[in-house]
């Protein structure tokens, strides 16, 4: 099989996962790692891959066909635009950027270069989500009515030793909630309006630690999401879905999705519906599917290869991720102003 050269920029927490998956992905050759840190240099040495402190030097030196960008949020746009201009497809970590203007720059650069830009909303590639999406699209839930998502966990103190995680744009809204928003958009479509209450009362950082959110989807469905990085709780996708080895899997549901014909829990995929009768006095049937296991990061790397080759369309394109960013930034804004925020039509995202 022909090996496609890819490179990784940013070898921190998630960059190391991408490096591992790229090394294991058939048909990909990890051509370089760019990250000025000593840890990154040592890691590159240990896996025998060329290391660069400067990503532009790496682009010129190894000429990758694809680049994974796993650097802090505020750097995504400048790096992604440079990579696209140098002829590489990009897989940008989420959030695509920390402003809509920067997200638009990435979309425009991709269009100008005629290259794919995809975004690391890996939950879409989880087999649990793929099944849920098929069920929703097949009408098994009927008309979407409402949903509740929980995103509550306790991040350890050392997580916040990295300064940007304590500062505006580095908190659970842009780091974590954006995954839930993207996941909910994937199932229910675009968000029309957002209300939110946000607080930094427990950790006292510049950035929020807890937010409660009300969503109205364009299809008319309503949703609530609770996010907190300071709650000792298991109800969140990272722990319940078992996507990453670094989180011990908890046997709980975190997302509850209801329609006129049935309801679905995630990640356990319990499907509740009526077989006979159709009212609260009738018996509900629950169908439980065997627990799905998958490594969406590995699947994302396989998908990236197929996207570079033009064999698959990005499951989360830069344009799509920009709309998830728009809805997520609207949560931050709604929390700040204490009022409902109305999102623009998708074609004219703010
Ligand atoms: N999809 C996921 O599951 C997931 C999980 C965690 C983080 N993320 C996202 O990945 C990104 C990185 O997060 P993290 O937690 O790994 O951060 P991190 O701080 O652990 O790592 C970032 C790395 O980028 C390097 N870096 C910074 N600027 C650079 C530059 N200009 N060129 C090259 N390297 C540079 C730093 O030295 C550091 O090693 C963020 O956008 C975050 O939101 C995604």
Q: What is the pLDDT of residues 274-320, one digit of tens each?
A: 999 999 999 999 999 887 778 999 999 999 999 999 999 999 999 99
Is the shortest distance between the CB of 319 and ligand 1 below 6 Å? no
Calculate how far, in angstroms, residue 15's C-alpha sits from the geometric centre of ligand 1: 6
* Average pLDDT over all residues of the chain: 95
- CA–CA separation, 220 and 129 (whole Å): 21
- CA–CA separation, 137 and 268 (whole Å): 18
Structure tokens at 71: 């650097």
Sorted by sequence, the CB contacts under 8 Å of residue 255 that are 6+ apart come out as 147, 148, 149, 150, 180, 183, 184, 237, 265, 266, 267
Is the pLDDT assigned to residue 343 strictly greater than 90?
A: yes
Is the shortest distance between the CB of 32 and ligand 1 below 6 Å? no
DSSP 8-state code for residue 162 = S
What is the per-residue pLDDT for 342? 98
Which pLDDT band holds residue 1 (cuts at 50, 70, 90)?
low
Percent of all residues in the chain with a pLDDT value above 90, rounded to a whole number: 90
Is the shortest distance between the CB of 316 and ligand 1 below 6 Å? no
Is the pLDDT assigned to residue 345 strictly greater than 90?
A: no
Is the shortest distance between the CB of 40 and ligand 1 below 6 Å? yes
Instruction: Give the residue, out of 10, 21, 96, with the most ligand 1 atoms within 8 A of its beta carbon, to mutate for a pocket test.
Output: 10
What is the per-residue pLDDT for 169? 72
Q: Residue 187: which of 298, 264, 112, 111 has the closest Cα?
A: 264
Question: Which class for 146: exposed (0-12), middle (13-18), buried (19 or more C-beta within 10 A)?
Answer: middle
Is the pLDDT assigned to residue 145 strictly greater than 90?
A: yes
Which pLDDT band holds residue 347 (cuts at 50, 70, 90)?
low
Closest approach atom of ligand 1 to CA 39 = 39
- CA–CA separation, 10 and 253 (whole Å): 32
Calculate how far, in angstroms, residue 12's C-alpha sits from the geometric centre of ligand 1: 5
Higher-confidence residue of 264 and 292: namely 264
What is the per-residue pLDDT for 244? 80
Q: Residue 243: which of 132, 96, 153, 122 has the closest Cα?
A: 122
Calculate how far, in angstroms, residue 348's C-alpha sits from the geometric centre of ligand 1: 29
- CA–CA separation, 227 and 157 (whole Å): 18
Is the shortest distance between the CB of 10 and ligand 1 below 6 Å? yes
What is the per-residue pLDDT for 290? 80
Instruction: Give the residue, out of 7, 8, 14, with the most ligand 1 atoms within 8 A of its beta carbon, to mutate for a pocket test.
Output: 14
Strand 66-69 to 144-152 pairing: unpaired
Calculate how far, in angstroms, residue 347's C-alpha sits from the geometric centre of ligand 1: 30
Mean of pLDDT values over 253-263: 98
Instruction: Give the residue, out of 11, 72, 91, with the most ligand 1 atoms within 8 A of its beta carbon, to mutate for a pocket test.
Output: 72
* Ligand 1 atom 28 nearest Cα: 71
Closest approach atom of ligand 1 to CA 71 = 24
The secondary structure element, H or E, covering residue 334 is helix 318-337
* Ligand 1 atom 43 nearest Cα: 175
Closest approach atom of ligand 1 to CA 73 = 41
- The pTM for the full model equals 0.94
Is the shortest distance between the CB of 37 and ligand 1 below 6 Å? yes
Q: Which residue has the tokens 């309801």?
A: 263
Which pLDDT band holds residue 349 (cuts at 50, 70, 90)?
very low
In this structure, the number of other CB atoms found within 10 A of the CB of residue 38 comes to 8
Closest approach atom of ligand 1 to CA 53 = 33
CB hemisphere CA count around 269 (13 angstroms): 19
User: pLDDT tens digit string along 228-252?
Assistant: 999 999 999 999 998 888 899 999 9
Q: Residue 13: which of 132, 142, 218, 155 has the closest Cα?
A: 155
Is the shortest distance between the CB of 162 and ligand 1 below 6 Å? yes
């Amino acid at each position: 099989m022909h090996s496609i050269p890819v490179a990784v920029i940013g070898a921190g927490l998630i960059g190391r996962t991408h490096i591992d998956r790229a090394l294991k992905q058939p048909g990909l050759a990890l051509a370089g790692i760019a990250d000025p840190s000593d840890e990154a240099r040592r890691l590159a040495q240990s896996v025998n891959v060329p290391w660069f402190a400067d990503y532009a030097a790496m682009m010129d030196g190894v000429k990758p066909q694809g680049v994974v960008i796993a650097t802090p949020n505020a750097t995504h746009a400048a790096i992604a635009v440079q990579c696209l201009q140098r002829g590489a497809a990009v897989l940008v970590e989420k959030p695509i950027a920390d402003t809509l203007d920067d997200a638009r720059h990435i979309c425009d650069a991709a269009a100008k270069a005629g290259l794919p830009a995809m975004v690391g909303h890996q939950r879409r590639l989880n087999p649990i989500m793929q099944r849920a999406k098929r069920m929703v699209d097949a009408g098994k839930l009927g008309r979407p009515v409402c949903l509740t998502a929980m995103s509550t966990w306790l991040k350890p103190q050392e997580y916040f030793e990295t300064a940007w995680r304590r500062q505006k744009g580095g908190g659970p809204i842009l780091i974590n909630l954006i995954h839930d928003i993207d996941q909910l958009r994937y199932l229910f479509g675009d968000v029309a309006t957002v209300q939110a209450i946000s607080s930094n009362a427990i950790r006292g950082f510049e950035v929020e630690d807890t937010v409660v959110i009300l969503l109205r989807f364009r299809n008319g469905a309503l949703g609530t999401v609770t996010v907190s990085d300071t709650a000792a709780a298991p109800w969140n996708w990272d722990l319940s879905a078992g996507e990453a080895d670094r989180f011990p899997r908890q046997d709980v549901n975190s997302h509850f999705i209801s329609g006129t014909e049935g309801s679905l829990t995630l990640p356990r995929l319990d499907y509740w519906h009526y077989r006979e009768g159709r009212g609260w006095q009738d018996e509900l049937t629950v169908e439980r599917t065997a627990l799905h296991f998958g490594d969406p990061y590995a699947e994302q790397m396989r998908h990236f290869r197929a996207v570079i080759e033009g064999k698959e369309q990005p499951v989360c394109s830069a344009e799509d991720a920009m709309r998830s960013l728009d809805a997520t930034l609207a949560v931050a804004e709604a929390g700040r102003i204490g009022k409902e925020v109305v999102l623009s039509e998708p074609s004219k995202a703010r």
